[in-house]
Structure 1
Amino acid sequence: MNVGFIGIGSMGSLLIEAFIGSGALEPSQITASNRTFAKAERLAYRHFGLRAVPTNREAAEKRDMIFLCIKPHEYKNVIEDLRGVLEPHQLVISITSPVLLDQLEELLPCKIAKVIPSITNYLCCGSTLCMYGSRVTAADRAQLNGLLAAISEPLVIDEKHTRIVSDLSSCGPAFMAFVLQRFVDAAVEETGIDRSEALLIASTMLLGTGQLLTEGGMTPEELQARVAVPGGITAKALALLERELDGVFNAVIKTTHAKYRDDLEHLAVALNSKEVNGS
């Protein structure tokens, strides 16, 4: 299998590192391009055999799979770069949530899929959310799922749920890390405990909590009930949290969805411009 990567920013480089670290791909199977070529060269220097190329066309030519790890506003130019290069048997995989499968199928002659990775994939855990275009075959799905299974649990989702599942899987680690940060900061401020000690304790607590909710088979409600004795310290603090956080996560989801809708609108205009569709 030969895999191309166009864009090696935060998520692109994370996927490459995870695939190589897990043994799913050898560096020699990867070709990468980036807007700043020196960044691709540095990645190739770290992983002997990985090929850094200066153009997106070179990253895509003769590859079995091509991951597009770019921002929404970059799609117009990248699609222009790839016109006349891609062939019907190739599989292009977008990791950008507001780019729709049917938009890419209309503009590119190949097979199209979309995956939403998570920073947790760096340690070969968490989920990767998968969506497939109409040209993708069962064999294509099996090949992509096999690759992603080396670093995550691939989950097939409906594209209409892209935003909310991305909130939970991809944005969620940042949200939970923010809550943990504020918890630790408050502990340091109120008690004077060493921050590194508090962070270690809280982080291992979060890891254990995740295991209870997955391997342990507990629901969030069951976990709270097991910890919070009626009338006890935890129960009193949970009552405070319920009052103070009422509506907060609803507002978070409304915020991410509003930004998503805005991105969808801007991207639709860009991809339908004359420079892309040739009309």
Structure 2
Amino acid sequence: MENTGEREGLRLRKIGFIGTGSMGRILIEAILESKAALPTQMTIHNRTIEKACAIAEEYKGITVSASLPSLIKKCDWIFLCVKPLQMIPILKEYKDYLTPEKTLISITSPLSLDQLEGIVNCQTVRFIPSIVNRAGCGPSLITYGTSSQEDQKKSLREFLSCFSSPLEIDESITRVSSDIASCGPAFISFLVEKLIEAAVAETTITKEEATYIAENMLIGYGALLQEKLFTLSTLQKRVTVPGGVTGEGLKVLNEETGDMFHKLFVKTHEKFDEDKYFIQKQLEKEQKGS
């Protein structure tokens, strides 16, 4: 049963967003439409101010701030939703406003929590959302910095649970966890589109028919997992009748995929290492200049 007192406590928090690009906007929409917070609790900022104003026009009550010091001073939780190389200059310039009672929530993985805590004195959290959170469900990933206080951890987890299924992870598995949770929907969409393309090429089914069937299959598939009627393994076994059509298809998939996903994780980690390298170089440059 929902604790009304805790819920009201969340209602009183002021939430700031620095960056309202693709993922920033998705998060704002997920928060507001799940009623995790009210528009009047939210202050947003974007380098292109028109993007922030467009969100405020849609969700009446949101405050658009052209001033980052004003946003930071006003808010308890500050979501930092900018590109990795934009983060450090922002944090360096406004670190004095990020005081210990505030919580900085980074949705970007290449800048480690240790590096964040080396710049700011506030509480730090890494939160990796997924596009599926826009539907008020799906995984999200949390890693807390050493400065995070227990009451803040509890409140933040309750807040994130309004529109996602948060999982606390160790920082060492950030990239692979993000590949599954955040990049996974794009990977699965790609594979399903390939399934549709092949169906259209090899048979007389139309693209519209194949797409309709595939999309609704995914919706039903998700419902089966959500209701815990099957696991990934038991679902596959239930559909696969010995000597049947599904089994023949699975043989092809087993042969053709091979080490495909192994290569995928190698590539995503190589890109991650590249991003971390440039972040480190930027930090070193900032340190020399200070």
TM-score interval for Structure 1 and Structure 2 normalised by the shorter chain: over 0.9
1:169 to 181, 189, 192: 181
Correspondence 1:127-206 to 2 at 5 A: 127-206=139-218
C-alpha contact (below 8 Å) 1:124/1:150 kept by paired residues: yes
Query: Residue in 1 aligned with 2:246?
Result: 234
Q: After superposition, give the CA deviation of every residue in 1:221-247 in whole Å (9 maximum; x if it has no partner).
A: 322221122222111111011111001
Q: Say yes or no: does 1:93 pair with 2:105.
A: yes
1:194 partner letter:
T
Give unpaired runs (5+ residues) of structure 2. 1-12
Q: 2:136 aligns with which of 121, 124, 128?
A: 124
Check the 8 A contact 1:66/1:91 in 2, yes or no. Answer: yes
Cα deviation code 1:4-26 (max 9, x no counterpart): 10001111001101111111111
The code of the aligned residue for 1:116 comes to I
How many pairs were matched up? Answer: 278
Q: Match of 2:231?
A: 219
1:217 Cα offset (Å):
5.0
How big is each residue's C-alpha offset from its partner over 1:61-119, in whole Å with a ceiling of 9 and x where there is no partner? 23100000111111122113312222110000000011111111110010000110000
Normalised to the residue count of structure 2, the TM-score between the two structures is 0.92
List alignment gaps of at least 5 residues for structure 1.
Answer: none
Match of 2:65 among 43, 50, 53: 53
Name the Cα RMSD after superposition: 1.5
The one-letter code matched in structure 2 to 1:11 is M
- For 1:2-17, what aligned pairs fall within 5 Å after superposition? 2-17=14-29
Q: How many Å separate the matches in 2 of 1:221 and 1:6?
A: 41
Q: CA deviation at 1:260?
A: 0.5
Structure 1 runs of 4+ aligned residues shifted over 6 Å read none
Distance 1:263 1:153 in 2: 27
> 1:80: which partner in 2?
92
Question: So what's the TM-score if we normalise by structure 1?
Answer: 0.95
Give me the identity figure in percent.
41
* Aligned partners of 2:16 and 2:71 also within 8 Å: yes
2:116 to 78, 95, 104: 104
* Aligned-partner Cα distance in 1 for 2:263–2:67: 41
Q: What is the rounded CA distance, in whole Å, between the counterparts of 2:164 and 2:269 in structure 1?
A: 25
SS of the residue 2:175 aligns to: helix
Q: Which residue number in structure 2 is paired with residue 266 of structure 1?
A: 278
